[in-house]
A and B are shown apart, each in its own frame.
Chain A
Amino acid sequence: MKTKSGSVSIGIICSCAILSKYLVILPEYMVKLVGNAAWLDVFAKCAIASISLLFVLWLYKPFAPMCLSETFSLACGEGGKIFFSYIYVISLTIFNALLLRLLVEALGTVMATTAPDEFFALFILVPVFVAAYSGTRATINLSAIIFPLLVVTIITVVLALIPHYRVENLFPILGTSTKNLMRGIFVKHFGFPETILLFFFAPMLENYKNIKRAGLLTFLIVALISVSFTLAYCLTVPYPASKNFFLPFYQMTRMIKSGAFLQRLEPIVVFVWTSFVMCSMSILISTSASLLSGSREREKKSAFVPVITIITFFVSMLPSSEGSAFYLYEKLLSYSTFLFPTLPVIILTIARIRRKAAKK
């Protein structure tokens, strides 16, 4: 994957992983704190995350194209590698499980209220397991096929909503209060922990230039989709109604009525949600399996895939309700900056220092 297309594929899968949670819980999550300035909040968060990515890339440059897990051992020895790998595996699995639960609840609400959550979870996990078991490359290729369809769908929804846009909804421009906006941007994180995938896939990209290109592409896609969609949400649903708007993506799609034939497009949302989350979950499970096995070879890591899938299923069923799953997810998001960029920055700095010391 040393070509440009390799960078694009990795960029797409990282975007899928980041955006999957966005489409399920956001922009409602942002609006609760900052109101109609949620789009500004998302824009600022994307900008800050991009700057932090560039900083991590700069720290990582001397180690390129080494897998990030190898830098764990450079920084803290083999014990450190195992410790940090476990931290990432546990965090990514919990994120995955809670996202699965939120998706299951959302699908249950919009499709079949009487269907048990376990049924939906299993239904989603079967293809996720197959994709993760088939290997990272298979999932990356699959998401490269699905992603353009998803982008077209989101663009269609955003464009079809144009008659519903009211520019007045964006004012007062700084939302609920300037203090809240600042708190939203700098304190209440909508983390981008999945960006870490880029550094785990680095050996596939073979050189620093390709890694940087994939990283920038990831943030370009994430920023474009998340900011435009949040802006569309703020333009369509005024504050304060927007803070109580359950499943915003679904509800917004329901509002589309462009003539007698272009309406009732909400089943598309189910497809978008499920596809995004399936791609994201497959790649996270596959990466977790790689970290546990310490190898990127399919034969070695595939043994861990069923174990992680089963753990994901059981963890997803732990929260007693959708509310508690959302609460836990929100709490986790608050600490997500620890996974990226805090931990990579610490590890890479130590690795650089130790490397310099070893050279001397």
Chain B
Amino acid sequence: MKKLSIMLVLILLLGGCGYGKDVENQAFVVAVGIDKGKSFPVKATFVFADPNGGGSGGGGEEKPSTPKPDTVTVEAPTVFSALRKIDSIKSKTLNMSHIKIVVFSDEIAKEGIRDYLSGFASSRDFRPNTYVCVSQGDAEKYLKKVKPSHETFIEKYYDNIMSKVAHDKVNEAYLYYLYFNVMEDFSGSLVPLVGINKNEIDKPSSDVSDMYDDFSYEARAGEIVRDAQNPTEVLGCAVFRNDKMIDTLGSFKTDLARIICNEYYPRNYSIAYPTKKEFVTIRLIQKRSPVIDGTVKNGKAHIKVEVPLSIEYIDAGKIENHKNKSAQFCAFLEKTLDREAKELIKDAQSSYRADVLGLGEAVKHQFIDVSAWKKFDWEKKFSNAQIDVSFNVMYADFEEAN
């Protein structure tokens, strides 16, 4: 009797086999592009992983095959409806759990992406750490142009290139964090910008004469003067007011915003110093978080941001005896950074009218509950807020600092 009851219980476990999913029967989507359609509201592009990409087939001498990711573009009322249509095209079962990137075209981003993000965030198919970006032009074209030269698998390319932007910090390059931001009544977000290059090394199509050094380099994705196998690039960011894209930021302004938001990763910069034709190369490091202090006086917000930064010399250029001239050079950097930050904040307050640097968080502390905070109306008060940003640049090398 006991044996029979144990067997009966074990029979129940066989049910688990009914929902088995074999890898060879699944089509893994690695990237999704969302554009505006002509026949339907949405034109969705899905990039599928090539499971055989890079495999030599065990032939020893045989060259590894180049991965050929399959791309399917469908027009539909929504992205999820497009997925249903893909079922009629693809024989394998769709698997969305390995999506690395969602690309919105700038046209769609300008109309608003809240509905898309809500759908993705509530669907368990999309992972929270999926990268989100905005393409300059069509997302479909961007996804079709991506030709990684180092990675065997395209999903690895997206993972590597986007992690350089996100740096594993909590920011809007990730699906969930952008969704969290967009869900707020008043917010600003900075979303990575991707694009196809149009500035070939011999015939640049846009004017780059003003970008004489890295502090004045305000190029966006697609504007790097270069020659490379992969025509696509990730540079700058799209500025969002709530869920709508309103503008773009160039390379250096993006870095500056990341520094103030404490989402920065060290980079090298070549700066024109002391004249526009001489360059000093430094590594700009953010070792400590910015100190952001917010107060409210007479209904007006006052925010003071102090950003400590360290630098390391990579190449002192033509500065003779640069160790003794460190204070002078640091003062120059502080002045330049202050000026650029002021410009960025002025843009945020007057043209974007979006708290893209998240400075409202510092003022929020002053309020006891959400109703009091809503009554204060940060959306209106942000434009008139007194925001002072100051940079404190020091040498990272202790010996040089002294």
Contacts and interface: CB of A to CB of B under 8 A. Distances in A.
Say if A and B assemble together: yes
A164 B364 CA distance: 20
B80 interface: no
Interface in A281-321: none
B369 interface: yes
Contact of A175 (B180, B183, B361, B369): B369
Contacts of B368: 172-174, 178
Chain B's interface size range is 20 to 34
A338 B356 CA distance: 49
A350 to B, nearest CB: 42
B122 A177 contact: no
B38 interface: no
Contacts of A110: 124
A25 to B, nearest CB: 17
B324 interface: no
Given A166-B170, A168-B361, A178 B127 contact: no
Contacts, number: 75
Interface residues of A, number: 39
Contact of A174 (B19, B180, B361, B369): B369
Nearest to B369: A174
A255 interface: yes
B319 interface: no
A293 B185 CA distance: 57
B365 interface: yes
Contact of A109 (B124, B168, B185, B361): B124
A241 B180 contact: yes
A240 interface: yes
B19 A177 contact: no
B176 interface: yes
Across the A-B interface, the 10 shortest Cβ-Cβ residue pairs: A168-B361, A241-B183, A174-B369, A177-B371, A241-B180, A255-B128, A172-B367, A171-B364, A112-B19, A176-B370
A171 B128 contact: no
A176 B12 contact: no
Contacts of A178: 368-369
Contacts of A173: 368-369
20 contacts: A35-B370, A37-B369, A114-B19, A115-B19, A119-B15, A123-B12, A126-B12, A168-B364, A171-B367, A172-B364, A172-B367, A172-B369, A172-B372, A172-B373, A181-B369, A240-B185, A241-B180, A246-B122, A254-B124, A257-B168
Contact of B128 (A36, A172, A176, A254): A254
Interface of A: 35-37, 109-112, 114-115, 119, 122-123, 126, 130, 163-164, 166, 168, 171-178, 181, 237-241, 244, 246, 251, 254-255, 257, 263
Nearest to B179: A241
Contact of B168 (A112, A119, A163): A163
Contact of A237 (B19, B180, B371): B180
A328 B400 CA distance: 69
Given A172-B370, A173-B368, A176-B370, 16 more contacts: A36-B370, A37-B369, A126-B9, A166-B170, A171-B364, A171-B367, A172-B367, A172-B373, A175-B370, A176-B369, A177-B369, A177-B370, A238-B184, A254-B128, A255-B128, A255-B129
A238 B180 contact: yes
Contacts of A168: 358, 361, 364
A166 to B, nearest CB: 6
A171 B294 CA distance: 13
Contacts of A172: 364-365, 367-370, 372-373
Interface string B68-102: 00000000000000000000000000000000000
Contacts of B176: 255
Contacts of B361: 168, 171
B371 A123 contact: no
A263 B128 CA distance: 11
Nearest to A35: B370
A178 B373 CA distance: 12
A73 to B, nearest CB: 37
B127 A240 contact: no
Nearest to B361: A168
Nearest to A119: B15
Contact of B183 (A35, A130, A240): A240
Contact of B184 (A166, A176, A177, A240): A240
A285 to B, nearest CB: 17
